[in-house]
A and B are shown apart, each in its own frame.
Chain A
């Protein structure tokens, strides 16, 4: 007897409604005006699915089920209210991992049930179970490691173990062998345990060689995996609600992965395995050393420049968020707008630590979303912009990406701040960005560098502008 036989029609219909609500909800998430409502619709769908399942007459252990529901809800709510917006990538990473773990447990439970009763799973269910364990396991440990990297508990640098290629190949062979054994003798518990352990190791090996700068891609990909893991459990239980929801999340994660890769002009395989080729092929190009001098400016001069400009475009980078400068930055923008200056924010797709992260950070600082412009929308406007103000961004404004074929960032789409009349770069020092390349923007004639901590510099700019009256 397996779980698939416990699904009468009425509850299937509840699932159908739930799935529809998910799709409508996601559709509404596509526009800022309706997004909040869309989230509510999806949540209602989830409530229906859960209630429908609780009504199944085969579900008997209500005490245990409620215990799980309550613990999970309390922990989830606590996390949701406590998390800082800067830590959102970690939160999403952790949630991905928990989703993967849940799928592993369900697949494991289903397998355990079959060994206990001595009735082997049908081959198709067994394959689904194996997939659930594999994908879920990789998602679980991979996400935990990604969480550790984002949190700074694990080094953000790519880590390559000695013989990692052989190790990976060996693991893959082992997984295939164990799966084969299991398909031949479907009640073989050690073979199942082997697949489980190997998949957990796989997850670690998968994320270990990926650097901190590539985390947006990894988080998106693991998001997709967590959906696929849920879909796999749907195949085990032959439950369409799980299959559809899993497919939706899988698609969503995959789309975001593609977008992130495109924004960095890298293929997915380059992100995942780039660290291997870098160590093998010797030195990656670091781009030409830039000749020229740096012009420094101070807060007073910059304040004048901003105050008497007609249009200002602010380019925030993750450095701005780390310095917690977004609130002061918004005050500065407000002060400029009061003087009649047009202020826009230019957001590069990889400006934060996950897709859309910078938009959330600015929204938290009460910046209206209508002032936020995507790369494609803002790039043609730089030519008509008086001052581009770069705060804590580096690689995404490096013009070398356009023409220097030796630069590792060559071909990456950038925000073309160098086309503005003047560019002011607020930066701590001359340190390089994630890509480790010299930024030729800093040496351009129309660029001025304003050194200091973003938060203090912006606060002082704000002061100067207010004094202008």
Chain B
């Protein structure tokens, strides 16, 4: 076990607690946008995908990387846009 991994575990646990605190207060009205919005955020995997594709030195890594970027980007763009589309319908 190395220190980098341990500190990543610390970050993970603390972020989970922060997440529980922030999200627990979201009212039921906004649960669907919350879900699609958090979906978009999980598209952060695109960062890993870019590192994979951007540093690839063989064809398979390239294909894996490009596919991963595309899939994660569908998540990001689709998630944020559809959330916005829903939220603009919520009116007083």
Residues of A whose CB lies within 8 Å of any CB of B are 3-4, 6, 15, 22-23, 25-27, 29-32, 35-36, 38-40, 42-43, 46, 49-50, 53-54, 56, 58-62, 64-65, 67-69, 71-73, 75-77, 79-81, 83, 85, 88, 91-92, 95-96, 98-99, 101-103, 105-106, 108-110, 112-113, 116, 122, 124, 219-220, 223, 226-227, 229-231, 233-253, 255-256, 259, 347, 349, 352, 354-357, 359-360, 363-364, 366, 368-370, 372, 374
Contacts and interface: CB of A to CB of B under 8 A. Distances in A.
Nearest to A46: B76
Contact of B84 (A40, A67, A106): A40
B78 A105 contact: no
B22 A242 contact: no
30 contacts: A15-B47, A25-B41, A29-B37, A31-B27, A35-B33, A36-B84, A53-B47, A61-B53, A61-B54, A64-B66, A65-B54, A67-B66, A72-B71, A72-B72, A75-B78, A81-B81, A95-B75, A99-B75, A235-B8, A236-B48, A246-B44, A248-B23, A249-B41, A250-B19, A251-B15, A255-B20, A347-B29, A357-B32, A369-B91, A372-B29
B33 to A, nearest CB: 6
A30 B26 contact: yes
A251 B74 contact: no
> Chain A interface mostly helix, strand, loop or mixed?
helix
A92 B35 contact: yes
Contacts of A32: 27, 29-30, 90, 92
B30 A60 contact: no
Contacts of A233: 45, 48
Contacts of A234: 8, 12, 48
B70 A242 contact: no
B48 A91 contact: no
A46 B22 contact: no
Given A81-B85, A105-B67, A109-B52, 8 more contacts: A6-B55, A26-B19, A68-B69, A75-B74, A95-B79, A122-B2, A240-B11, A248-B23
Contacts of A56: 51, 54
Given A247-B19, A354-B35, A242 B45 contact: yes
Contact of B72 (A102, A235, A248): A102
A242 B47 contact: yes
Nearest to B89: A363
B37 A39 contact: yes
Contacts of B48: 3, 103, 106, 233-234, 236-237, 239, 242
Nearest to A246: B42
